[in-house]
Structure 1
């Protein structure tokens, strides 16, 4: 057996899994997107662009997703980075494992239960009631975009913390010591050494959170109260309630295309930043 044949043999199980679990289902969705809705729902074979022409009917869902998903990703990154930095650089190693476990403790509870907890916190008996007691009336938090943003940041924060933590933990601490010995200020050290070397972790965390948020439906359904729809909510409605599989497939394919374009541009930006970092290091 040649080396090329051995490589193909090793790749065969993963390729078969990839084809069966991803390519094949997506091909059905692609074909369905050009069909029509049957009289009793479902799918009727056809070749029409009518479903794509009806996409503006779900404009609000796309708008909410394309606004709140990047905002949620950015907010999670801004909160996760200081936490990951504290854990990886500033924390005593004997406490590090305990604190890391505390970060993932929320994952031990269903996201459904955690979302219901936020319904109470943001609802009339939670923060608004507390604000009312100090004279601030008519504050509405629940069933708003702000409530959904809070929910998605809280729900996905651990997925952002760990990649950044790993990147910072791998950082050679001797570089920080050398920078301090050479008289660099802490902020200069951070922006010239720490932040550039943590870009891979930031990129991984943002990618994980953003991709999952683009398909999120539970948090908007609970904390949005039917007023803040994501594309995921639109897909649930189209496939399970109105049974318009053709239109739902068109919406799903459009979401996939939007995600592919966004992720491609993002990866090019990260590659450019990594190239710039490597050039800066070589000049040093």
Structure 2
């Protein structure tokens, strides 16, 4: 057997999995998006662009997703980076494992239960009640974009912490010592050495969280209370309640296109930053 034949043989399982689990479902959704809704719901074969023409009716869902998903990603990154830095650089090996386990602990509980906990915390008997006790009245937190953002940060923070932690943990500590020996202040060492070398971890964490947030529906449904909803909530409504599979497929295809464009632009920006960093390091 030739080397090329062996390579194809090794790639066959992954290729079959990719075709069956990704290409085939996306192709079905794409075909459905050009169809029509039947009298009793579902899908009727046709070829029309009517579903795409009706996309502006779901503009609010797309707007909320494209605003809160990047906002939640950036907010999670800003909170996760100091935590990951503390665990990787400032924590001894003795405590590092235990603290990492504590970061994972929330994942041992269903996101549904954790979201209901935030409903109580942000609801009338939670933080607003405490604020009323000190004279601050009329504060509404639940069923707002703020509540959804808090739920997003809390729910996806561990997914942001670990890629950044791995990137920082693998950092050669001798580089930090060399920077200090050359007279650089701690902030200069961080900005010129630690931060640039941790960009791959930051990029991975942001990409992972952003992609998952684009399809999120549970957190907006619970903490948004029907007032702040994502495209994922629109898809649940169209497929399961309205049973308008054709329109739902058009919304899903549009979401996929938006994600592909956003991720492509993001990856190019990261590649450009890495290129600039390498050019500076060679000078």
Whole-angstrom CA distance in 1 between matches of 2:212 and 2:91: 30
Whole-angstrom CA distance in 1 between matches of 2:22 and 2:104: 29
| 2:68 is equivalent to residue 89 of structure 1 | no
- Tell me which residue corresponds to 1:116: 116
Q: TM-score, normalised by structure 2?
A: 1.00
- The one-character-per-residue Cα deviations of 1:31-76 (angstroms, maximum 9, x if unpaired) are 0000000000000000000000000000000000000000000000
- The one-character-per-residue Cα deviations of 1:126-163 (angstroms, maximum 9, x if unpaired) are 00000000000000000000000000000000000000
Q: Secondary structure of 1:146's match? A: helix
- Tell me which residue corresponds to 2:72: 72
- The one-character-per-residue Cα deviations of 1:170-221 (angstroms, maximum 9, x if unpaired) are 1000000000000011111111110000000000000110000000000000
- Tell me which residue corresponds to 2:148: 148
Whole-angstrom CA distance in 2 between matches of 1:33 and 1:119: 36
Q: Secondary structure of 2:39's match? A: coil
Q: What is the CA-CA distance between 1:228 and the residue it aligns to? A: 0.4
- Tell me which residue corresponds to 2:231: 231
Q: What is the CA-CA distance between 1:22 and the residue it aligns to? A: 0.4
- Tell me which residue corresponds to 2:207: 207
- Tell me which residue corresponds to 2:6: 6
Instruction: Give 1:18-167 correspondences, 5 Å limit.
Output: 18-167=18-167
- Tell me which residue corresponds to 2:262: 262
Q: Secondary structure of 2:246's match? A: helix
Whole-angstrom CA distance in 1 between matches of 2:62 and 2:23: 24
Q: Secondary structure of 1:225's match? A: coil
Gaps of 5+ in 2: none
Q: What is the CA-CA distance between 1:270 and the residue it aligns to? A: 0.5
Q: Secondary structure of 2:27's match? A: helix
- Tell me which residue corresponds to 1:198: 198
Whole-angstrom CA distance in 2 between matches of 1:5 and 1:70: 44
* Structure 1 runs of 4+ with >4 Å offset: none
Whole-angstrom CA distance in 2 between matches of 1:164 and 1:120: 31
Q: What is the CA-CA distance between 1:166 and the residue it aligns to? A: 0.2
Whole-angstrom CA distance in 1 between matches of 2:227 and 2:82: 33
Whole-angstrom CA distance in 1 between matches of 2:186 and 2:247: 55
- Tell me which residue corresponds to 1:219: 219
Whole-angstrom CA distance in 1 between matches of 2:51 and 2:172: 54
Q: Secondary structure of 1:201's match? A: helix
Number of residue pairs the alignment of both structures matches: 283
Instruction: Give 1:271-282 correspondences, 5 Å limit.
Output: 271-282=271-282
Gaps of 5+ in 1: none
Whole-angstrom CA distance in 2 between matches of 1:4 and 1:192: 45
